[in-house]
A and B are shown apart, each in its own frame.
Chain A
């Protein structure tokens, strides 16, 4: 090692250069490095990568073949009704694993070490958000392919289908920040897991994802119709089935897409701010 003389790393004990060492990484490098760390974690820990994928497939089959027969979706085949909504809920079902990882980093001193480094603290959570949303995107793609395998057909042009996926990716990124802020708030991995279940179960089941909202009791419908997950489902379904009428949700496709994006931007703004502030604060 001592033969390399161009390196800024000098021989041990040289106090003069010790003082002038690494000034610290910038935002982009720090974001990329922390994202890479989490992605390697996912890629090399099969249970983190494979389990959510299997869970997605399992639930798809259960709804498609077990509940599907009993659910009446008058205008479209149940599989065509199900898959767009199911894909949107995959964003939440997969994303809900993220808080445990964030809480673990907080508890095992990883966050303390990263906070002690000369880097912008916001980069650490931003890197995390990129890695977590990439994991969700992966499960989304696999589940979509499985959806086609079990008989799903889009009834729209290629551009609309691409746009549908773009809306889901936007939702993915926005909800990732919700999960990061949950992980930062939770304190430990188990609490994080519990808190995210409490969030995910009502927002996925009290939505138009698996059954038409009009089959729910009247008092439940206002929430089920208007909560953000339902709005995003309406957008994705309208895009994939060739219009909001085909999806049976009223308004226009454009309306649902814009409303979805507005929700995503709002959620992103609020929860990214919370996460960055929470991570960056010096107690």
Chain B
């Protein structure tokens, strides 16, 4: 089966900023693919390239086998785009907004009405269909925006940070709406800064940073691969910190790191967690080091990202604005 998206060595530069630095990605049909990365990683740039909004400087990009550079209009016929904003018209009703987009997809008046009614049901806005969008809540607008990208019955749905700025309840509602689509057989490429979102929605997560793919796989594979279990030790005496480091270094996969502020030493381990923990406890005991605390814990998804990229995945204050201002949707920050 033709992959829905196939990208090879895609690059794009905005002035000084290398937004895409040779991005390779193959998204198979029949699943949700999540592009996960911090602000400025190149996610929006890539989505814009797939949506025919910008032309890569080099590389090859195909959507459902169609060369995006050569036949953008054919690509536009099979995609639906929902950007970082709810780009719906506040002075029109929900229904009018959907019919507007349906007409632009070339549907006749009657078919547009039918398509709009179907989508309203799908996104759970039937009751609000005849209200002006300016009376909608933020979550309802985002759902309508999702609907607008659906009304043309796309084969590939592009969702650029669909839940940024939404409260937890609206976010869950939008997740449900997206899951329903997937059940209907639409392929989805979504970008997100939220690991939880990728975990919830996507079968395949592609981690992007500095315009490149760093790792890809199912959420579990990524956790297994990049996020090793961590042993954390807090000695009673601060003076024992170096000795603890020494012990942890014997079992750890990487050099342990000591945090002087919290007086903790942590180290990701390579082997079996319980066995390594027992070893550490025994070795510390032999050396007569008194402990306040010792534990073994699973890595958080944030640590997965940290391990892969060397920087934390910031989810605070990361509104769409911070992503868009520098290059107007270019995600070039």
Using a CB–CB cutoff of 8 Å, the interface residues on chain A facing chain B are: 1, 4, 7-9, 12-13, 15, 17-19, 21-26, 29-30, 33, 36-37, 40-41, 43-45, 106-110, 112-119, 187, 282-283
Contact = CB atoms under 8 A, between A and B. Distances in A.
Nearest to A43: B91
Contact of B77 (A1, A23, A33, A114): A23
A115 B328 CA distance: 14
Contacts of B85: 108-109
Interface string B183-201: 1110000000000000000
B106 A23 contact: yes
Interface-centre pick from B148, B152, B155 (highest chain A CB count, 10 A): B152
B81 A22 contact: no
A4 B89 contact: no
Nearest to A22: B105
A9 B114 contact: yes
A37 B52 contact: no
Interface in B139-154: 148-149, 152-154
Given A22-B77, A109-B83, A112-B83, A41 B328 contact: no
Contacts of A37: 89, 92, 100
Contacts of B107: 8-9, 22
Contacts of A33: 100, 103-104
A7 B87 contact: no
Contact of A283 (B54, B114, B148, B149): B54
Contacts of B138: none
Contacts of A45: 91
Contact of B110 (A1, A7, A13, A108): A7
B111 interface: yes
Contacts of A26: 106
B220 to A, nearest CB: 27
Contact of B73 (A24, A40, A113): A24
Contact of A117 (B105, B183, B184): B105
B84 A109 contact: yes
Interface in B256-300: none
B72 interface: yes
A113 B155 CA distance: 16
